[in-house]
Amino acid sequence: MEKSTLLIKPDPECESRWLAAMAPYADTVAVRLWPEVGAPAEVDFALLWAPPPGLLASLANLQAVFSIGAGVDNILRVPDLPRDVPLVRMVDKSLTEGMGEFVVYQCLRFHRGFHQYEAQQIARQWKAWPQTPAAQRRIGIMGLGELGGYAARQLCALGFTLRGWSRRPRAVGGVETFAGSGGLEKFLRGCDIVVCLLPLSPQTEKILNAKTLAMLPPGACVINAARGAHVDDAALLEALDRGHLKAAALDVFNEEPLPKGHPYWRHPKVTITPHAAAFTLPESAAAQVVENIRRHRRGEALSNLVDREAGY
Ligand code: NDP
Ligand code: OXD
């Protein structure tokens, strides 16, 4: 069978890793690295994070678009994304396990008050905080998909009391589940720590706003590892400053990199990481991209297709 041509546009620092990871599949795919597109009509598949304007429209024979990320908001917002070309999101153990580590770490940090000890060390303050049993800490995960479902199971294994919120009703062992806009308030009212792992869509944009943050119990902590646009920054800062919320750990921001003058940088209750909760590792993800290309060539359905109506 003729080789397929795959155009890859990764983050510049990952270019050589993607090339090396694809090398064992040279019998199936000929790789082109953006911006060396060659003859655009020869490109069968594109693998990218955010397409530059006009790129997708120029690829006349494109058969599928693969996202390097789990979130496809960057791709769905591109006006020249062809309607009839399948869009595939990233589901990979590098992302799932990385996100599990990030969420468990941040939850343990807030649960045991380690964020307070970090501040106390700078102030040379010796003060121990009471220890609460994990079972008495209610952690709520917004989004019970690949990442949220995995994080929930990891936290359950540590003995926490888990609840989760999704668009459609879901059953996850050991997790009390809530669904849809009708289930949101009940879900939020029982979260000592809430973790956002939702895809960004018109339905989830600014989902953490003044009204929903007020539904959290006093002293709750917020972790956002999904997209910055899930949070109304002014409302979050107000809830922290007023003392309604105890702390926030934010990995994603409305503007990235976070502007130097943003109040989050110096806020004593906010911890920042630079959109680094989890990465797609080419060494892990290349095989499944190639497997999906092979499926397409055999006329089989692609795995991890995005439902464009739902927006994820
Ligand atoms: P999935 O598509 O597997 O899961 C999404 C979950 O969110 C599902 O449970 C879905 O509900 C739920 N959901 C979607 N829309 C709504 C809604 N309107 N109301 C309630 N629940 C909703 O996504 P992943 O778990 O793979 O990824 C989640 C997000 O994490 C990505 O979209 C990305 O933005 C972010 N991410 C961030 C990273 C980082 O480094 N910070 C790394 C990787 C991903 P249902 O089950 O009913 O479909
Ligand atoms: C993703 C991300 O969506 O890294 O994969 O944010």
Tokens representing 66 are: 């693969």
Tell me: pLDDT of 1 over 80.
no
Q: What is the pairing mode between strands 4-9 and 45-48? A: parallel
E-strand stretches of 93-199: 138-142, 161-166, 175-179, 193-196
Tell me: pLDDT of 257 over 90.
yes
Provide, rounded to the nearest whole percent, the portion of the chain with pLDDT above 70: 100
- Nearest alpha carbon, ligand 2 atom 1: 69
Tell me: pLDDT of 264 over 90.
yes
Beta carbons of 37 and 43 less than 8 angstroms apart: yes
Separation of CA 69 from chain center:
8
Q: Which neighbouring-strand residues pair with 178?
A: 165
Which pLDDT tens digit goes with each residue over 135-146? 999 999 999 999
Q: What are the start and end residues of each CATH 3.40.50.720 domain in the chain? A: 4-92+280-297, 93-272
Q: What is the mean pLDDT of the chain?
A: 97
Q: Which neighbouring-strand residues pair with 216?
A: none
Smallest CA-to-CA distance from 275 within 77, 55, 50, 47 is with 50
Active site residue 275: yes
Superfamily holding 93-272 = NAD(P)-binding Rossmann-like Domain (3.40.50.720)
Residue 161: predicted pLDDT:
98
Best mutation site among 47, 95, 284 for ligand 2, i.e. most ligand atoms within 8 A of its Cβ? 95
Enter the pTM of the model: 0.98
- Nearest alpha carbon, ligand 2 atom 2: 69
Rounded Cα–Cα distance for residues 239 and 221 (Å): 11
Say whether 32 sits in a helix, a strand or coil: strand
Q: Is 168 in the pocket of ligand 1 (CB under 6 A)?
A: yes
User: Mean pLDDT over residues 282-297, rounded?
Assistant: 96
Q: Is 70 in the pocket of ligand 2 (CB under 6 A)?
A: yes
Ligand 1 centroid from CA 198, angstroms: 4
Q: Report the CATH number of the 4-92+280-297 domain.
A: 3.40.50.720
Separation of CA 300 from chain center:
28
Model confidence band, residue 40 (pLDDT cutoffs 50, 70, 90): very high
Which pLDDT tens digit goes with each residue over 109-163? 999 999 999 999 999 999 999 999 999 999 999 999 999 999 999 999 999 999 9
Model confidence band, residue 2 (pLDDT cutoffs 50, 70, 90): confident
Rounded Cα–Cα distance for residues 137 and 160 (Å): 6
Which pLDDT tens digit goes with each residue over 59-80? 999 999 999 999 999 999 999 9
Ligand 2 centroid from CA 72, angstroms: 8
Which pLDDT tens digit goes with each residue over 15-35? 999 999 999 999 999 999 999
